[in-house]
């Protein structure tokens, strides 16, 4: 994707669809066993969509990983912002529960 051009809503929606399908396939089949053909077939995308947006299957995987890490980091960060209102035990308990919740979502 051209970094100087703002993508259209349609392009962004297609990227999200590809990422969601790829995420599910990577979880169920594993990275090695998931082919670009599998992703294209289920997402309705094309090779050019994937290569234009992510450069490769690895690029797609790393973008998904980045999204997941950011989502979870934001959730953990929201818990740590309230540290001044809690003692250490309350904070660690809250942090631990948040951490467990995150991994139960996947």
Stretch 11-36: mean pLDDT: 96
Residue 8 CB neighbour total at 10 angstroms:
9
Indicate whether 1 pLDDT > 60: no
Is domain 9-105 classified as CATH 1.10.10.60?
yes
What percentage of the chain reaches a pLDDT higher than 90? 54
Q: What's the pLDDT tens digit per position in 47-89?
A: 999 999 999 999 999 999 999 888 877 777 776 666 666 777 8
Q: What pTM did the predictor assign?
A: 0.72
Triad 30, 46, 22: Cα angle to 5°: 25
Amino acid 68: pLDDT: 86
The rounded mean pLDDT for the chain is 86
- Residue 42 or residue 2, greater confidence: 42
- How many contiguous H segments (helices) and E segments (strands) does the chain have? 5, 0
């Amino acid at each position: 994707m051209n970094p100087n051009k703002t993508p259209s809503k349609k392009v962004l929606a297609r990227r999200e669809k590809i990422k969601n399908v790829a995420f599910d396939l990577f979880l169920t089949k594993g990275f090695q066993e998931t082919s670009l053909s599998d992703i294209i077939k289920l997402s309705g995308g094309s090779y050019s969509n994937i290569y234009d947006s992510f450069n490769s299957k690895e690029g797609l995987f790393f973008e998904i990983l980045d999204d997941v890490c950011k989502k979870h980091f934001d959730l953990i960060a929201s818990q740590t912002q309230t540290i001044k209102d809690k003692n250490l035990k309350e904070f660690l308990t809250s942090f631990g529960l948040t951490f467990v919740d995150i991994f139960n979502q996947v």
